[in-house]
Amino acid sequence: MDLRKLKTLIDLVADSGIAELEITEGEGKVRIVKFAQPAAGAPVRAEPAPPAGAVMTLDQPTLDFGTIEAGKKTTVEFTFKNTGTKPLKLEKKKLKSSCKCLVAILPRAPIAPGGQGVVKATFTAPRTAGEASHNLLIKYVVDPAAKAEASAVLALTGTVEPKKPRPRQPKEPRFEGRGFVLS
């Protein structure tokens, strides 16, 4: 919404007898509320309306798994909250991973408005050492009636260190038929 339009609307509400005005443009909403007893020249406060539909708000969109040995697995948990007004349903078919080495487990039950959920992500380190950065893209339905979708990106970063060599056992000679053999 254009700030000039918003300023004009605030001025109109301040000068009129209207106590509250809500404006919707596209997906955005603005609610203008006049104070209970305005004094001369009192400011008018504009508050964003809560988003309509389901909204996935991540506590931490990026997690660092630290350092992991090549070929090993690690699991991290992304916590999120449904800050929308409708239940949030996450579906496995709408989950995309940047690599086959990153797999996620989504909550099965819908998350109620104001509720929290957890996405568990398991990363299998590649055999090559170095920095690792992979993403999960989760698409979800905001409003089933409008068939509107949104997405959230979960990022996982860290370092893969080379596999530690196993200590070799000295070879013991053993007798096989014609003589001794090292195994």
Query: pLDDT per position in the chain (183 positions), as tens?
Result: 555 666 666 666 666 666 666 666 656 666 666 555 545 555 555 556 556 789 999 999 999 989 999 999 999 999 999 999 999 999 999 999 999 999 999 999 999 999 999 999 999 999 889 999 999 999 998 888 878 889 999 999 999 999 887 777 767 766 676 766 665
Structure tokens belonging to residue 98: 């940047």
Q: How many CB atoms lie within 10 A of CB 150?
A: 18
